Chains A and B, each alone.
Chain A
Amino acid sequence: MSGLIEVLNKLQAANVRRDKAAILALVTPDVEYHFHVGTKPLVGVEGISKFLDRYWAMASELVWRIDHHAENGDKLLVEGYEEFVDTNTGKKVAHPYMGIFEIRDGKIAKWRDYFEKDPPPPAAPAAR
């Protein structure tokens, strides 16, 4: 199957519109979303719905960019960048990230995002 990136493009467009119904129509009823690999996943449409409520309430000036993508079978792998202003603190949050989507019948069944959840301030050593 090709064109899996179109599913993601629809998801991004719906996110810009903050169109929850459109987003939920793009995931399977048993969707499993690891919004941060290492943290317990969200499961099911209800889990995604609650996540969107929290996310949209705390994030403004959202930037969500896909820099690279590639598809293999039913899987779409992406590299991108997310940025938003945390409305609770007023601080900008920025994450380079990678994600993988597993698509079933045109809908997202599994979704895992990889990034550093609490990055330290810059000034890390050049080599470990």
Chain B
Amino acid sequence: MTVKKLDALNHLIDCWRRRSVEEFLDCFTDDLEYYWHLGSPPLKGKAKMRKFLANYGGAYDQRRWEIFNWAENGDVLLVEGVEELWDNKYQRLITNLFMQAIEFRGDKVAKLRDYYEPANMKPPAQQASA
């Protein structure tokens, strides 16, 4: 049975909310590509994603990941949402409005591209001088 793409995304979000890393990774294909920043090369494969999640989880505590608009067309799900991150280093809450393009192969995510303003993540001193 084919899972609706939004349901698959909500399951992925729920896995991360529970910090169930292996369940989270199981939502992706083995050859996944994750463009966490469009100006940087993508992460490829589950091993790289696992390492990314460990680094990310050490730096930030994601406290909100909410999708409020979505639409799908063929294998692609496009979404708009918001996340709130607690920045462990600078002890501050970062709110990121974002969009994502998610390409599915079957019920699993094969490609994920994040669109947001990375300047929101800069250290406070750099934001003040920007």
Contacts and interface: CB of A to CB of B under 8 A. Distances in A.
Contacts of B115: 79, 96-98, 114-115
Contacts of B51: 127
A128 B71 contact: no
Interface in B41-79: 41, 43, 48, 51-52, 55-56, 59, 69-73, 76-79
A85 interface: no
Given A128-B36, A128-B59, 9 more contacts: A36-B117, A79-B115, A98-B80, A100-B99, A116-B117, A127-B52, A127-B55, A128-B37, A128-B56
B38 A96 contact: yes
Interface residues of A, number: 32
User: Which among B71, B77, B130 has the greatest number of chain A C-beta atoms within 10 A?
Assistant: B71
Interface string A61-83: 00000001111100111110000
21 contacts: A36-B117, A68-B76, A69-B78, A70-B76, A72-B70, A77-B78, A77-B80, A78-B78, A96-B113, A114-B97, A116-B38, A116-B116, A116-B117, A119-B39, A122-B40, A124-B37, A126-B40, A127-B36, A127-B43, A128-B37, A128-B59
A85 B85 CA distance: 35
B40 A68 contact: no
A87 B37 CA distance: 27
Contact of A128 (B52, B76, B78): B52
Interface of B: 36-41, 43, 48, 51-52, 55-56, 59, 69-73, 76-80, 97-101, 113, 115-120, 130
Contacts of A126: 40-41, 43, 48
A62 B77 CA distance: 27
A37 interface: yes
Contacts of A38: 97, 117, 119-120
A39 B111 CA distance: 28
Interface of A: 36-38, 68-72, 75-79, 96-100, 112, 114-120, 122, 124-128
Nearest to B53: A127
A78 to B, nearest CB: 7
A77 B100 CA distance: 10
Contacts of B37: 116, 124, 128
A122 B38 CA distance: 10
A17 to B, nearest CB: 27
